[in-house]
Structure 1
């Protein structure tokens, strides 16, 4: 599998988890309740956080793969699911600037705070304590990462003269 094929596989999987995250958030009814699957339920907060964080991870890895960055060799053990170390591997300051939400200091603080959300929210019951939930930060980061990853995959496809795959999933 070449890097473009691998990157597209990661991007497509990221889209699947993005859609799961959006479905877990549900729709807000007039009375303020969340409607999921035709009924009224509370928002699925942990699944929202897990799916959003994993989509972010997959989109970050898409970008790294496109730039021939072997994150598996570079990251320390246990950092493969952490957003901050993956973000720091981005090869281009323009990418980081595009992804920044708020001031640089606010973004770095939020990114650090939510770096381990994929693991933390899956297993929060094993480590009792206080976890900060900020689904909007992770959700916006996920959307921005999707936009950037999609543009980079599309550009790589155009350079290779192969633009039919990604356009089906946009």
Structure 2
């Protein structure tokens, strides 16, 4: 008979326990969560926080694509589509996370529509933050956040199938501004709640 295998539970590079390896990743995940719960280590995250984490993950990938392909020549033109698609999806998730703070989350990809249905107080704060950060991205502060957002409102859908389009444009600095503003604002909101 084979010796049972155990998986180590690690926290901050330190083993804090072991779970019996079932051989099934899903079952092992359940055992891991049960271990955390039974030891008072499990932290339940809100749906909003999970949405924020997903948005931030896609935004991080977008920034990595930007850093690796658009900062210095030669520029990799093939990277623009993944940059735009990941950025647009990150924006969608940020906006849906903001919606979840105040009510129902819409099931759509239109960034304009998602933004339009945020509370006015939230839209005003986002607009002020956008004005404050515009100069950093070499953008005119007289252009509103809403106007910037309109330029990429349907980018998630459109850019995924860019080969079906005759042409498309996007201002990388506008995209970076939108990502930064939404991340900064939502991060501050979640730290308050």
- TM-score above 0.5: yes
What corresponds to 2:113 in structure 1? 85
Do the aligned partners of 2:111 and 2:149 also contact (CA within 8 Å) in 1? yes
Show the counterpart of 2:128.
97
Question: 1:18: which partner in 2?
Answer: 59
- Note the aligned Cα RMSD (angstroms): 2.5
Q: Does the CA-based 8 Å contact 1:53-1:118 persist in structure 2?
A: yes
TM-aligned CA deviation for residue 103 of structure 1: 4.5
Which residue, out of 162, 166, 175, partners 1:129?
Answer: 166
Deviations 1:71-126 (A, max 9, x none): 24xxxxxxx11111111112122233323554455544332221011111111112
- The superposition leaves residues 32-55 of structure 1 with CA deviations (integer Å, 9 ceiling, x where unpaired) of 225xxxxxx556110000111111
* Residues 67 and 31 (structure 1), Cα distance of their counterparts in 2 relative to 1, 3 Å cut: closer
1:132 is paired with a residue whose SS is coil
Distance 1:26 1:59, change over 3 A: same
Cα offset, 1:28, TM superposition: 6.6
Name the structure 1 match of 2:11: none
DSSP-derived class of the 2:167 partner: coil
Is the 1:14–1:58 Cα contact (8 Å) retained in structure 2?
Answer: yes
Return the match for 2:96 from 47, 58, 61: 61
* Structure (1 or 2) with the larger CA radius of gyration: 2
Unaligned runs of 5+ in 1: 35-40, 73-79, 157-170
Distance 2:71 2:110 in 1: 37
Pick one of 134, 153, 167 that aligns with 1:115.
153
- Find the aligned partners of 1:43 and 1:85 in 2 and give their Cα distance: 29
* Distance in 2 separating the partners of 1:70 and 1:150: 18
CA distance in 1, matches of 2:111, 2:51: 15
